[in-house]
């Protein structure tokens, strides 16, 4: 195997260079000692708690190092391992409910786009540059970033075709939906922080209107709705809207989420 | 060349900080209010990512997809085709309009003068679409050595040689007389 990691060249806005995690740097040094076949054997392990697990950041490092050795076989072998890690880093596009496997069409489309973009990026990165430096820093987070743009586009498209629409004039949901969601009262948002709902909740947040999604995501990060202290970060300041608008969006988002999570009757 | 800081770099720094604490969202919203939408979007994707970590395994379909990608890139590298070969003058005109660049820029791509690593992905995507090839095919072609166009004519006694050095996209745009504000727009990467 090749020797240990060269520094990354990309820099953060404050000028500090991108740096791999210390555990990745150590891993690069350690696995560099291995024969390539032994390295591949370990790279096949995908269970993160296995003692021989190799981090995706380390695999990305060695994949990118093949720029200089021009060895197709080595590239292909490493690429295979990296693509497996890409897939493992993507949220599943189907879920099982009882005996039924439900495929989320939008999530499946999103996954296809992300796979394609990753493949394009690797091809381009092989020609040089620092475009994929962050994949050696935090692989999963880099994959999450890749989802952003297509997720937005697909959700916008899906919203246009969703059957359960409110009144196109007022944007309000039909009354029976409001009642089912317990929405004529102040909606209870305790479920937002309940780990039981966490995964479904995040999936449903994805389906909210963009303005509701941003308010809920900030609430989950414990950002206050409003504050008189100008130094305190607030949702109101972040989105440039008054406290009442934020509250209305929060209320509407919580109603929609309660309904989606079937929490309608037990406000 | 010192490239300007991009929102992508801000988001990378945010992701690293968000790993440590979700309080990073508030901090970055204060520091980069112009990126509020992107930061909140990214925070949501990071939440999803964290929640879904380890829930998936590699299926036989996944393995098939992986092998298809290996075959695809190997095929692109073993049989490099010239996506410009069949391009007619009218297609250059069309590309100039769509990409909003002068002919000299397209010629630099055709003659593989451009350092492909310096070209932003959105521009490559548009060009590949116009050429009706995949990005991988276009990149593999552009990675080849610079060449002289087959139909170039010359008056000197000795035939001119192809340039040996590749040129960064930004320099090609500047040399082609693209205005600075347009250059900035063309250099914009995706987040």
Q: Are residues B40 and B98 in the same domain?
A: no
Q: Are residues B180 and B91 in the same domain?
A: yes
Residue at B126 is within a domain: yes
Interface test with A, best of B117, B125, B189 (most A CBs within 10 A): B117
Residues 106-145, chain B: which have Cβ within 8 Å of A? 115-118, 121, 124, 134-136, 139-140, 142-143
Residue at B76 is within a domain: no
The continuous run of DSSP H or E covering B64 comes out as helix B60-78
Reported as a pLDDT band with limits 50, 70 and 90, residue A24 is very high
For the segment B116-138, the average pLDDT, to the nearest whole number, is: 93
Q: Residue B9 and residue A10: Cβ atoms within 8 Å?
A: yes
**Residue B86: Cβ within 10 Å count:** 10
Q: Are residues B89 and B32 in the same domain?
A: no
Q: Per-residue pLDDT for A229 more than 70? A: yes
Q: Residue A88 and residue B57: Cβ atoms within 8 Å?
A: yes
Burial pattern B22-60, b for ≥16 Cβ within 10 A else e, equals bebbbebbeebeebbebbbbbbbbbbbbebbeeebebee
Q: Does B46 touch chain A (CB under 8 A)?
A: yes
The pLDDT assigned to A188 comes to 76
Q: Per-residue pLDDT for B175 more than 60? A: yes
Reported as a pLDDT band with limits 50, 70 and 90, residue A92 is confident
Chain B CB contacts of A88 below 8 Å: 54, 56-58
Q: Are residues B88 and B28 in the same domain?
A: no
Helices and strands of chain B, counted as H and E runs = 10, 0
Q: Does B69 touch chain A (CB under 8 A)?
A: yes
Residue at B122 is within a domain: yes
B33: containing domain: 7-52
Q: Per-residue pLDDT for A250 more than 80? A: yes
As a whole number, the mean pLDDT across chain B is 88
The pLDDT assigned to A71 comes to 85
Residue at B47 is within a domain: yes
Number of independent structural domains in chain B: 2
Residue at B34 is within a domain: yes
Q: Per-residue pLDDT for B109 more than 50? A: yes
Cα angle value B44/B46/B50 (rounded, 5°): 120
**Which range, of A120-124, A185-189, B4-8, B61-65, averages the lowest pLDDT?**
A185-189
3-state class of A214 per DSSP?
helix
For residues B119 and B186, what is the distance between their CA atoms, to the nearest angstrom?
9
Share of chain A above pLDDT 70, in %: 81
Reported as a pLDDT band with limits 50, 70 and 90, residue A3 is low
For residues A239 and B129, what is the distance between their CA atoms, to the nearest angstrom?
36
Q: Are residues B17 and B102 in the same domain?
A: no
Residue at B91 is within a domain: yes
For residues A184 and B29, what is the distance between their CA atoms, to the nearest angstrom?
32
Residue at B70 is within a domain: no
Q: Per-residue pLDDT for A175 more than 70? A: no
Residue at B57 is within a domain: no
CA dihedral (A156, B40, A165, A193) in degrees, to 10, reads 140
Q: Are residues B179 and B114 in the same domain?
A: yes
**Which range, of A13-27, A95-109, A199-213, A218-232, averages the lowest pLDDT?**
A95-109
For chains A and B, CB pairs below 8 A equal 189
Q: Residue A143 and residue B57: Cβ atoms within 8 Å?
A: no
Q: Are residues B86 and B130 in the same domain?
A: yes
Q: Per-residue pLDDT for B126 more than 90? A: yes
């Amino acid at each position: 195997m090749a020797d240990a990691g060269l520094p990354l060249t990309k820099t953060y806005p404050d000028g500090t260079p991108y740096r791999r995690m210390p555990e990745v740097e150590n891993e690069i040094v350690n696995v560099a000692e291995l024969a390539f076949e032994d390295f591949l054997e370990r790279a096949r392990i995908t269970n993160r708690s296995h003692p021989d697990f190799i981090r995706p950041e380390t695999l990305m490092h060695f994949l990118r190092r093949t720029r200089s050795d021009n060895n197709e076989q080595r590239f292909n072998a490493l690429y295979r391992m990296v693509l497996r890690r890409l897939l493992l880093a993507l949220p599943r596009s189907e879920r099982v409910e009882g005996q039924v496997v439900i495929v989320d069409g939008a999530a499946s489309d999103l996954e296809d786009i992300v796979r394609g973009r990753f493949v394009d990026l690797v091809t381009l990165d092989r020609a040089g540059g620092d475009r994929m430096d962050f994949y050696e820093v935090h692989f999963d987070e880099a994959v999450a970033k890749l989802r952003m743009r297509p997720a937005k586009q697909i959700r916008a498209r899906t919203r246009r075709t969703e059957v359960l629409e409110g009144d196109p004039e007022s944007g309000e949901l039909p009354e029976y939906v409001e009642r089912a969601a317990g929405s004529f009262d102040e909606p209870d948002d305790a479920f937002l922080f309940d780990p039981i709902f966490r995964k479904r909740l995040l999936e449903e947040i994805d389906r909210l209107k963009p303005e509701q999604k941003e308010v809920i995501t900030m609430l989950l990060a414990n950002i206050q709705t409003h504050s008189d202290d100008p130094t305190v970060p607030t949702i109101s300041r972040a989105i440039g809207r008054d406290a009442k608008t934020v509250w209305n969006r929060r209320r509407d988002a919580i109603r929609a989420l309660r309904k989606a999570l079937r929490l309608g009757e037990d406000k | 060349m010192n490239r300007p800081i991009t929102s992508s770099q801000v988001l990378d720094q945010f992701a690293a900080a968000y790993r440590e604490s979700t309080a990073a969202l508030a901090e970055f919203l204060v520091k980069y209010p112009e990126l509020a939408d992107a930061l909140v979007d990214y925070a949501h994707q990071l939440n999803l990512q964290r929640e879904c970590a380890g829930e998936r395994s590699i299926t036989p379909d996944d393995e098939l997809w992986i092998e298809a990608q290996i075959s695809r890139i190997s095929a692109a590298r073993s049989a490099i085709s010239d996506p410009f070969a069949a391009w007619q003058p009218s297609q250059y005109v069309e590309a100039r309009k769509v990409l909003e660049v002068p002919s000299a820029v397209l010629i630099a791509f055709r003659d593989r003068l451009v350092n492909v690593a310096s070209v932003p992905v959105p521009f490559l995507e548009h060009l590949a679409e116009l050429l009706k090839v995949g990005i991988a095919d276009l990149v593999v072609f552009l990675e080849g050595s610079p060449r002289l166009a087959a139909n170039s004519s010359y008056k000197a006694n000795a035939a001119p040689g192809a340039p040996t050095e590749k040129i960064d996209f930004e320099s090609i745009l500047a040399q082609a007389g693209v205005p600075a504000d347009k250059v900035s727009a063309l250099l914009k990467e995706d987040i």
